[in-house]
Amino acid sequence: MVGTIDPKYVIGEVAARHGIKIDAKDPMMAVVTMNELAMMQMITPVIDRIEAAGPEFEESYLKTQRRAGLMLSQEVRQAAAILRAEIQTDIEKARLNASQLILDVQQANRRTIRLIWRAVFLIFSMVFFLFGCWIARWL
């Protein structure tokens, strides 16, 4: 609850600030007490209402926190789904690129093998031709 005013403190402050000496039986102290009582009467219901509203604020805070948590988890799930889809697309593109690269390498290897076989064929053809010419010379 609200604290009370210390009369000694009030008497000391009045003396210090204004140079007026009053004592506890001074009628001015009765006015101070009346002001204190009036303020307590006005403030007490306000304090009671504030204290009563505390649990409501806490409940609202918890609801808001839960909602924020749900919204955050939904956004994280959506972002993860988008990221997963993008990664899947990148993997598919990489697979297609790798397949195309393998086909290109195989084609290059086939050309090289064909050229080697053509060279071997030409060399054997020349050897057989020269061998035929050499045999024809002796006949």
Which residues constitute the domain of residue 55? 7-138
> What pLDDT is attached to residue 20?
85
What 8-state DSSP symbol labels residue 19?
-
- Is residue 134 assigned to a domain? yes
DSSP reduced 3-state for 102: helix
Inside any domain, residue 16: yes
Instruction: State the sign of the Cα–Cα–Cα–Cα dihedral 8, 10, 14, 20.
Output: negative
pLDDT score at 129: 92
Assess if residue 1 is contained within a domain.
Answer: no
In a domain, 2, yes or no: no
Element spanning 14, H or E: helix 7-18
- Give the count of domains, the chain: 1
Q: What's the pLDDT at 28?
A: 83
Compute CA distances 45 → 42, 51, 54, 123, whole Å: 6, 10, 14, 115
**Three-state SS for 90?**
helix
Cβ atoms of residues 28 and 10 within 8 Å? no
Asked if residue 106 belongs to a domain, the reply is yes
pLDDT digits (tens, 9 = 90+) for 116-131: 999 999 999 999 999 9
Residue 89 falls inside a structural domain = yes
Q: How far apart are CA 135 and CA 27, in angstroms?
A: 154
**Global confidence as pTM:** 0.43
Do the domain assignments include residue 67? yes
What pLDDT is attached to residue 2?
A: 59
Strands (E) in the chain, as ranges, are none
Q: Give yes or no for residue 58 having a pLDDT over 70.
A: yes
In a domain, residue 77? The reply is yes
Q: What mean pLDDT do residues 23-32 have?
A: 83
Q: How many CB atoms are closer than 10 A to CB 11?
A: 19
Q: What is the pLDDT of residues 71-112, one digit of tens each?
A: 999 999 999 999 999 999 999 999 999 999 999 899 988 988
Instruction: Extract the tokens encoding 24.
Output: 């506890």
How far, in Å, CA of 53 to CA of 59, rounded?
10
Q: How far apart are the first and last CA of the chain?
A: 138
